[in-house]
Amino acid sequence: MITTRIRNILHHVAVAALLVWGIGALPAQAEDIPSAVPQTWQMLDYLATDYAGAVKDGAVISTSEYAEMREFTATARSRIAALPPTVATPALLQQADTLVASVEAKATPAQVATQAHALADALLQAYPVPTAPERAPDLARGATLYQNQCAACHGATGHGDGPAGLLLSPRPVNFTDQTRADQRSALSLYEVISQGVAGTPMASYAQQLSSDDRWALAYYVGSLAYAKEAVAGADTWQHDTAARAQIADLKELSRARVAQLTPTLGAERARTIVGYLRAHPDVIQQQALAGIPLARARLAASLTAYRAGAKTQATQLALSAYLDGVEPVEPQLNARDSALRAQLETSMGAYRSALSGNTPVESVVKQADAIDGLLVRAQEVTADAASDAAAIFLGAFTILVREGLEALLVVVALLAFLRKAARPEALRYVHAGWILALVAGGITWAIASYAISISGAGRELTEGLSSLFAAFVLLGVGLWMHQKSIGGRWQAYLKEKMAAALNRRSAWFLFGLAFISVYREVFESILFYAALWNDGQEVWLLSGIAAGAAVLGLIAWVLLRTSRRLPIGTFFSASSALIAVLAIVLTGKGIAALQEAGWVAVSVAPVPHIELLGIYPTWQSLLAQLAILVLLAVGFVFNIRRGRQRLPSPPTTREVLPDAD
């Protein structure tokens, strides 16, 4: 199964590639992120926990605490604004402004805590940084560290009554206070240990303790408030599917808070699960749900949360059901039953849209029941797929042919154009683009296991944004080629003008288009192959890849050979039509990827699902494709009318390939 580590490195490598062409989802100045983001996150987390000590019932109960809360919100807002911009920056700033306004209005602690935690989570999605240990923390080591480093202030049992602590102001935190502990995650405690707390005696231990030691200490401290509940946790973890659906790996455990889980599980069950897992973090790696069982459990948990009125949590659980449960087994589903996979994708997207609205509970229950039935079928289909050599071969073959065909068509069109224009020296830019994309894909695979983990939504965002970017570029290229197919005297025009037509900026544009077109397909293919590779049957997987590569090579040879025989006007007409179709296809795929990431709503449309053509049964993707189609139609009509008005002689202005800007 695709690990969250693999997803993250794919996200980062793809984003780095996209940044070269100005559409990155992460900032270019990545070196500023490691220190600024954790500090800002810690500030927001601290605010969510301590605001209750400053305001109660709309009145200030501690002037100094309230002044600190106002300072924290203003500082957090300014720090977010100072981070390198991303596509998420406007939304982050809007959330920060809302939080500032709530604190100024002396809103309830619950409202401020919810807003602060939501902003903190969004910050980590926009700027991924490590949020979990690489391995299960050693609680015995954590207990020893606590007695040596913390007991003097926080007390031997964590009550904040150590001999040194009694002399401090403010007094050390009482780690056994469940009300406060319910708002803290293990990550919260780790960041406090790492960063310290400004204005208090709590200093940073980043230099004294290793990362593993800090995680061990954070988990131990985080278990002190739930010592009694953790005793009964083993039985609950084993038999409570809804509880197990909440936490699937160390990343989720490290960020889990009792207050976050309470709407779905109730306070007592949430404390039992969190207390048990923090005291026994190794269990999460041994017994966590994965694949379709995880998808079914999170689907049920999202329904429970929706019934409890927690719409945001319900939507997040539903999104995770697909990204973390279904998506990792997509290769097996595609090889065995692609129609079922497409039906699941659409149905789960529509379910998320229903959760986001005011849909009656009865209707949501019907949708969830229908999806669960599809998941049961998917579980049966994928049960023995890992041991089926034919399924592995077919999956590897179809993935490469399906994902590679679009990129191949773009690259072949560029190569054929340059050969028609008698510009062989420019071919190296196109070849460099697609070769570098393949190399980047190999590097992606090679270093994937060393990456930090983020949600699978990062992968979908990267795919969606790159698809839409490529679609808009191809839209311009298609209209330009169509313009050149109008009128005559092509040979004279090329002979006279093309000698000076390809400037350096245009050549780099060719390189960029080739790179983006190929890498976005390599990016997605690697995700699928990583899943199949982890299932074993490596020989059959490599055989499928080799067969797919051979088919793509044959298609490329046929296309290039055919293009040489076409008259120049016919070539431009055919190329413009092909590129126009690709622009429509990529638009559909881009919107679909953003829907899977939860950025775009899903409204089911009565049309068939044809993934090869980028047609998805949702109104959002269809309307986006219709908009591109209208732009193409208007552009083609304009080109035809303009061509009729021109004299049949070569253009007098200098014509160049479309520039990157």
113 pLDDT higher than 80: yes
At 505 the pLDDT is 64
Convert 377-397 to b/e letters by CB count within 10 Å (16 or more is b). bbeebbeebbebeebbbbbbb
Q: In the prediction, which pLDDT does 182 show?
A: 92
Q: Which of 367, 284, 361 is nearest to 321 (CA)?
A: 367
Task: Read off the pLDDT of residues 547-560 as tens digits, 9 standing for 90 and up.
Answer: 888 988 888 888 77
DSSP category for residue 85 = P
* Whether pLDDT at 643 is above 70: no
Q: State the Cα–Cα distance between residues 66 and 53, nearest whole angstrom.
A: 8
Query: Residue 7: its pLDDT value, please?
Result: 40
Q: Within 13 Å and on the Cβ side, how many CA atoms surround 260?
A: 25
Give the number of C-alpha atoms closer than 13 A to the C-alpha of residue 609, restricted to the C-beta side: 15
| Nearest-angstrom CA–CA distance, 611 and 588 | 9
Q: How far is CA 117 from the centre of its chain?
A: 19
The answer to whether 416 and 575 have CB atoms below 8 angstroms apart is: yes
Measure the CA–CA gap between 569 and 404, rounded to whole angstroms.
28
Residues with Cβ within 8 Å of residue 454, at least 6 apart in sequence: 4, 7, 8, 11, 124, 125, 128
Neighbouring residues of 478: CB distance < 8 A, sequence distance ≥ 6: 576, 577, 579, 580, 583, 632
DSSP structure class, residue 349: H
Token pair 């998420």 is found at 88
pTM for the full model?
Answer: 0.62
Q: What is the pLDDT of residues 147-186, one digit of tens each?
A: 999 999 999 999 988 998 888 877 888 999 998 899 899 9
Token pair in block for residue 542: 């490599």
Find tokens 């090329």 and name the residue.
494
Instruction: Give the closest residue to 440 by CA, choosing from 104, 16, 90.
Output: 16
249/283 Cα distance (integer angstroms): 10
Alpha-carbon span 122 to 454, nearest angstrom: 12
Neighbours of 158 (CB within 10 A): 24
Q: pLDDT at position 18, please?
A: 37
Question: Mean pLDDT across the stretch 607-612?
Answer: 78
Least confident of 59-68, 309-318, 518-527: 518-527
Q: Distance between CA atoms of 479 and 456, rounded to whole angstroms?
A: 35
Closest among 106, 367, 354, 137 to 253, alpha carbons compared: 137
Distance CA 459, CA 10 (A): 7
Kindly report, residue by residue over 21-46, the tens digit of the pLDDT.
Answer: 333 333 333 334 557 888 898 889 88
3-class DSSP state for residue 60?
A: strand
Handedness of CA 578, 581, 583, 585 (dihedral sign): negative
Burial of residue 43, with CB atoms counted within 10 A of its CB: 0-12 exposed, 13-18 middle, 19 or more buried: buried
Taking residues 532-545, what's their average pLDDT?
71
Q: What is the mean pLDDT of residues 38-55?
A: 88
pLDDT above 70 coverage of the chain, percent: 78
* pLDDT on residue 405: 79
Which ranges constitute the DSSP H helices of 499-618? Answer: 504-534, 538-565, 568-596
Q: Is the pLDDT of residue 611 over 80?
A: no
Q: What is the reported pLDDT for 403?
A: 73
Per the CB < 8 A criterion, the answer to whether 213 and 141 are in contact is: yes
**Which of these, 238, 550, 592, lies nearest to 408 by C-alpha position?**
550
25 close to 86: Cβ distance less than 8 angstroms = yes
DSSP 8-state code for residue 59:
E
pLDDT value of residue 311: 84
Q: Give the residue-averaged pLDDT of 377-401.
A: 73
Find all residues with CB under 8 Å of 522, minimum gap 6, and list them: 403, 437, 438, 440, 441, 444
Read off the pLDDT of residues 323-344 as tens digits, 9 standing for 90 and up.
888 877 777 777 677 788 888 8
Hey, CA dihedral for 415, 421, 427, 433, is it positive or negative?
negative
- Alpha helices per DSSP H over 321-426: 330-356, 361-382, 389-420
pLDDT higher than 80, residue 392: no
Question: Reduced to 3 states, what is the DSSP secondary structure of residue 597?
Answer: coil
- Angle CA 336–342–346, to nearest 5: 155
492 has pLDDT over 50: no
In this structure, are residues 278 and 238 in contact, taking their beta carbons and an 8 Å threshold?
A: no
- Calculate the CA 66 to chain-centre distance: 36
**Chain-centre distance of CA 446, in angstroms?**
20
Note the pLDDT of residue 212: 93
**What is the DSSP code string of 98-127?**
HHHHHHHTT--HHHHHHHHHHHHHHHHHHS
Q: Is the peptide bond before 170 cis (omega within 30 degrees of 0)?
A: yes
Write down the pLDDT at residue 447: 56
Residue 288: the pLDDT is: 65
148 Cβ contact partners less than 8 Å away, ≥ 6 residues apart: none
Angle at 199 between CA 197 and CA 204, to 5 degrees: 35
* pLDDT higher than threshold 70 for residue 399: yes
φ/ψ of residue 174, rounded to 5 = -90, 105
d(CA 73, CA 59): 18
Report pLDDT for 503.
Answer: 57
Residue pair 316/343 in contact by the 8 Å Cβ criterion:
no
Mean pLDDT across 477-504:
54
Strand (E) or helix (H) holding 56? strand 55-56
C-alpha 334 chain-centroid distance: 21
Cβ-proximal residues to 529 (8 Å cutoff; 6+ apart), any chain? 331, 396, 399, 445, 541, 545
pLDDT computed for residue 590 by the predictor:
81
Give the pLDDT band of residue 646 (cuts 50, 70, 90).
low
Residue 530's pLDDT band (cuts 50, 70, 90): low
Query: What's the confidence (pLDDT) of residue 272?
Result: 92
- Is residue 446's pLDDT more than 80? no
DSSP state of 536: S
Indicate the average pLDDT of the chain: 78
Q: What is the pLDDT of residues 561-594, one digit of tens each?
A: 877 776 666 666 776 777 788 788 888 888 887 8
Exposed, middle or buried: residue 426 (CB in 10 Å: 0-12, 13-18, 19+)?
buried
Rounded distance between C-alpha atoms, residue 258 and residue 256, angstroms? 7
Round the CA-based radius of gyration of the chain to a whole number and report it.
28
Between the CA of residue 253 and those of 116, 258, 279, 320, what are the distances in Å?
19, 11, 11, 15
